[in-house]
Amino acid sequence: MKQTYVFAVLVLFVSGFLFVPDVTSNETSMTADGFVQDSTVLSGQVPRTIRVAVYDEPNATLPDYGAAGLTSTNITPLLLMLEGAGYDVTPLTFQNILNHELKAASYDVFVIFDNNPRENTSELVKQYWLGGGGILSIDGAINYITYFGIMCPDLEGTNDYGSDWDYVWSENHTIENRHPVTKAFEVGDKITNYLDWGAFNKTMLEFSSTSTEYTMLTSPDADPSWVNTLARDPELQGGRVVHAFGDDRDDYLPDESIIVEAVDWLAMRPKGRILFDLTNEPYYGVDPGDPSGYNLEGRHAAMRDYLVRNRFTFDKAYPDDGPLEISFLRQYDMLFINTPGLSYSTPEIDAIHQWVEEGGGLLLHGEYQSFSDQNANLREILSAYDMNITDTDYSPSTLITTNATVHPVNAFAASMEFLGGAFVESWGDAFTLWGDGAGNETIVAQEIGMGRVVLCGDINYLGNYIDYEDNAQFAENVANWLCSGGAEVLLYTDGKTSIGPDYNYYRSPAALALNELAVEYFMTNDRDMFNESLKMQTWELVIIDANNDAPATSHNLIIDHLEAGGKLIWRDFMFRYDFAPYNSTWSYLGWQGLGSTITGGPPDVFLWEPDHPVFNMPVEYGEATIESLNNLFMTDYTYVHLYDNATALAGITPTFDSNESAIVLGVEGRALCNMFAISQYVDDTDDSTYSDAYELFINEIAFMLRPTIDHPGDVEFEEGETGNSIVWNPESLYPARYVIYQNGSDIVDIAWFGEQVVLDLDYLTNGTYIFEILVYDRAGYSVLDEVQVDVLVPEIPTTTGELPILLIIAAAAAVVIIIVVVIVVQRRSKS
């Protein structure tokens, strides 16, 4: 037995010389530890995180402006309710608000639970609402939203308790209207919560200046002349508002479904987020009392109102927000700096420059020569750009000009008025937007990386002069342009000629659908500027919703866009034409115009392929037809004949008819054409509480923007080799998450923000592996790629001529040792 043991040990010893691996393996194991799944709440139609601030006020006494009622200080039941719904919830105290932490970029909704903001924070809360933040008022908070004009501007500064509002007792409360806030109920349903709750006088609301903005949701059965759940969607100023009833006692808590759905509806889906900088003492602020050189009255409050009504949010950066840092700026799409009295530090300037390069939009305003210090501070920022403020003042000081460059940012702005400023200058890559007609520039711009910069030498034209000439139109345009740096979607929509001059394009179904999807886009409503926009860059998706002014001169550019791989959604009342230049475009898209239309009212549209994603993702449209009673446009439908290179998804007959198509998919699935006037289908056929046009646009856009991914090819390497990986390049304009599977088991599940995905393979041992990646966008679409990885056993050198001489000597020595040992053992055994 001893002989066997010694021989075995020696064999192992020898094998250690003979089979030394060429490469030492540094093996690691890959787990899912540390990876987190993207946690979003189903909001509206598309998943996203909604951030809610809840006012945490221990003081139960009424503030000076309060009129009546008992208040609650226990917010725990509400916190649990909102957290249980999946919202990101943060209590905010009086001090938090004083520290200017309540911003629309930080919190989508501010909830005031049966209490009222204290006197020295009440204006800050209102400014949050004026900047587009949503307000949820519950019971006793009716004091605040009434006195500060948030629910009814006509009542601002008054508190007519007992007349305009009151506490009305009732055991049951009836649902009066279907609405996103009450979508869990049917009209006539009852909510039992017997107590006297804060309510508004219906008659007062119906005769108010904002009567069209209200939806009355519940009324107390004991006196239906009052409304105790009320929603307001302001048309001209501020964010959305909801008032509901309930308090912190277990038997009287607010109805959970109403609170949860109210928060979702209140959360702004913004076109862009704007930051007005107050950190460095600008001469003009926004509201009275702002930390600025002149603060007796607000100079940019009207500008804020114009932008917020267009679905932008508007925050202010205060000195206590600290120096401007890149992480703070990245919350915003546009930064507005005017006449800073203090200079920016080098790190701040570097952060601003980096933010612009990444896609931020920077609006800079200087002034005439007397503001030399302020202009010098601006020049430090301007040093990186091809533009500057001159020392030449306007003369005369009031300057009215019609000298505009043809550029989308100047759409519908025929003339501008400036007051008491200085001319600016541009060179290199910068260009003129407005001049005085005599060779002097008043507004210049430049595109930097993915971002944009606009400079003007006047602080009045968007301040107290914003309502002069077309200054307000330019304010809207410049925000649209500055907030779309890096955008890959172009939207053209019109309709004012038919609907009326007050029609807000930023609230059109297509624009709201893009906001819901959180897709960055540039919008133009002028067909000539649409033509210019098509020339200026390559677009991923072009959306045309032409109801009054068809982009007839853009057809070649549209075909070029599609030929280059771009995507298209198109509605045009000219689809009916069957002559040049239209017919060649229509043929390319997959159909022929038949020369006739429906003009007497919108026809019912039947879903011919109801299982198609256009009708199911992300919105599950629940009806077989799309219907409308709104006859807004001259042309409601255009007849076309379908060709074999296209597919009809819907039509105006119950079953397929090649001459009655309504939604046509062509160009290998990259062009989607609506033959019906989609934007006038604003009814709610499927009773979802959202308009059909809005839902259909969401689905059409989501379908066109499905994620894509490349295929990097299979991988083979020897075990122990390093530097091996799989590199995927998925693309999406609204990425969500990706999952990686190894032989069918998920090993990575992580939020995705559009970046390249690299999977390290060095930890793998000998074998064959199948790796799959599944990439999702926020609409729920996904794309899959599969890569096979073969890890081979390392090869051992076998050619004698190549065998290292040292290894041969070692082997020979080992054999000699074995022989000697065997002889010695045998002799000992004989003795």
Q: How do strand 782-792 and strand 715-718 relate by DSSP bridges? A: parallel
Is residue 39 over pLDDT 90? no
Is residue 684 over pLDDT 50? yes
Mean per-residue pLDDT, 397-402: 96
DSSP three-state, residue 218: strand
Mean per-residue pLDDT, 448-459: 98
Which of these, 359, 362, 368, 366, lies nearest to 348 by C-alpha position?
362
Q: Which amino acid is at 746?
A: D
> What is the per-residue pLDDT for 828?
56
* CA dihedral for 526, 531, 537, 540, sign (positive or negative): positive
Can you name the residues that pair with 242 across neighbouring β-strands?
Answer: 136, 231
Cβ(317)–Cβ(276) under 8 Å? yes
Confidence label for 159 from pLDDT (cuts 50, 70 and 90) = confident
* CA dihedral for 710, 45, 620, 671, sign (positive or negative): negative
> What is the per-residue pLDDT for 807?
54
Confidence label for 70 from pLDDT (cuts 50, 70 and 90) = confident
> What is the per-residue pLDDT for 798?
59
First-residue to last-residue Cα distance in the chain: 17
Q: Could you tell me the fold of the domain covering 51-266?
A: Rossmann fold (3.40.50)
Count other Cβ atoms within 10 Å, centred on residue 639.
Answer: 19
3-state SS, 62-90, equals CCCCCCCCCCCCCCHHHHHHHHHCCCEEE
pTM: 0.89
> What is the per-residue pLDDT for 516?
96
**Beta strands per DSSP E along 16-65:** 41-43, 46-48, 51-56
* CA dihedral for 166, 172, 177, 180, sign (positive or negative): positive
Mean per-residue pLDDT, 693-720: 96
Q: Could you tell me the fold of the domain covering 494-704?
A: Rossmann fold (3.40.50)
Q: Could you tell me the fold of the domain covering 272-482?
A: Rossmann fold (3.40.50)
Cβ(243)–Cβ(281) under 8 Å? no
Q: Could you give the CA distance from residue 405 to residue 411 in angstroms, rounded to a whole number? A: 10
DSSP three-state, residue 499: helix
Mean per-residue pLDDT, 687-716: 97
Is residue 464 over pLDDT 90? yes
- At residue 47, what are phi and psi to the nearest 5 degrees? -60, 135
Percent of the chain with pLDDT over 70: 91
Nearest 10 degrees: Cα torsion 397, 424, 477, 430: 160
Q: Could you give the CA distance from residue 516 to residue 698 in angstroms, rounded to a whole number? A: 8
> What is the per-residue pLDDT for 534?
96
Token duo for residue 355: 């933010």
Average pLDDT over the chain, rounded to whole? 91
pLDDT in tens, 605-643: 999 999 999 999 999 998 999 999 999 999 999 999 999
> What is the per-residue pLDDT for 804?
53
Q: Could you give the CA distance from residue 168 to residue 197 in angstroms, rounded to a whole number? A: 5
Q: How many residues does the chain have?
A: 831
**What dotted CATH number matches 20-46+707-793?**
2.60.40.10
Which of these, 717, 740, 744, lies nearest to 727 by C-alpha position?
740
DSSP three-state, residue 17: helix
> DSSP letters of 362-422?
EEEE---GGGHHHHHHHHHHHTTSSEEEEEEEPSSSEEEE-EE-S-GGGTT---EEEES-E
> What is the per-residue pLDDT for 795?
82
Cβ(786)–Cβ(771) under 8 Å? yes
User: What CA–CA distances, in Å, run from 391 to 128, 134, 362, 366?
Assistant: 38, 44, 22, 11
> What is the per-residue pLDDT for 262?
98
pLDDT in tens, 770-805: 999 999 999 999 999 999 999 999 987 655 555 555
Count other Cβ atoms within 10 Å, centred on residue 541.
Answer: 21
The reply to whether 272-482 shares the fold of 20-46+707-793 is no
User: What CA–CA distances, in Å, run from 615 to 368, 620, 697, 700, 703?
Assistant: 57, 6, 10, 8, 10
Mean per-residue pLDDT, 77-104: 97
Token duo for residue 356: 């612009």
Angle, CA of 205, 135 and 146, to the nearest 5°: 40
Q: What are the extents of the domains in the chain?
A: 2-19+796-830, 20-46+707-793, 51-266, 272-482, 494-704
Is residue 164 over pLDDT 70? yes
Q: Could you give the CA distance from residue 464 to residue 283 in angstroms, rounded to a whole number? A: 13
pLDDT in tens, 514-552: 999 999 999 999 999 999 999 999 999 999 999 999 998
For residue 755, count CB atoms less than 10 angstroms from its CB and return exposed for 0-12, middle for 13-18, buried for 19 or more: exposed
Is residue 2 over pLDDT 60? no
Q: Could you give the CA distance from residue 682 to residue 632 in angstroms, rounded to a whole number? A: 10
> DSSP letters of 726-775?
EEE--B-SSEEEEEEEETTEEEEEEE--S--EEEE-TT--SEEEEEEEEE
> What is the per-residue pLDDT for 814?
67
Cβ(268)–Cβ(238) under 8 Å? no
Cβ(579)–Cβ(711) under 8 Å? no
Q: Select the more confidently predicted residue: 580 or 83.
A: 83
Q: What number of H helices and E strands is found in the chain?
A: 19, 42
**H-only helix segments in 188-311:** 202-206, 256-266, 301-309
> What is the per-residue pLDDT for 719?
95
Which of these, 498, 44, 441, lies nearest to 265 by C-alpha position?
44
> What is the per-residue pLDDT for 33?
28
> What is the per-residue pLDDT for 808?
54
Angle, CA of 225, 226 and 229, to the nearest 5°: 140
Is residue 831 over pLDDT 70? no
User: What CA–CA distances, in Å, run from 766 to 16, 19, 224, 709, 761?
Assistant: 21, 17, 76, 28, 12
pLDDT in tens, 123-155: 999 999 999 999 999 999 999 999 999 999 999
> What is the per-residue pLDDT for 16?
34
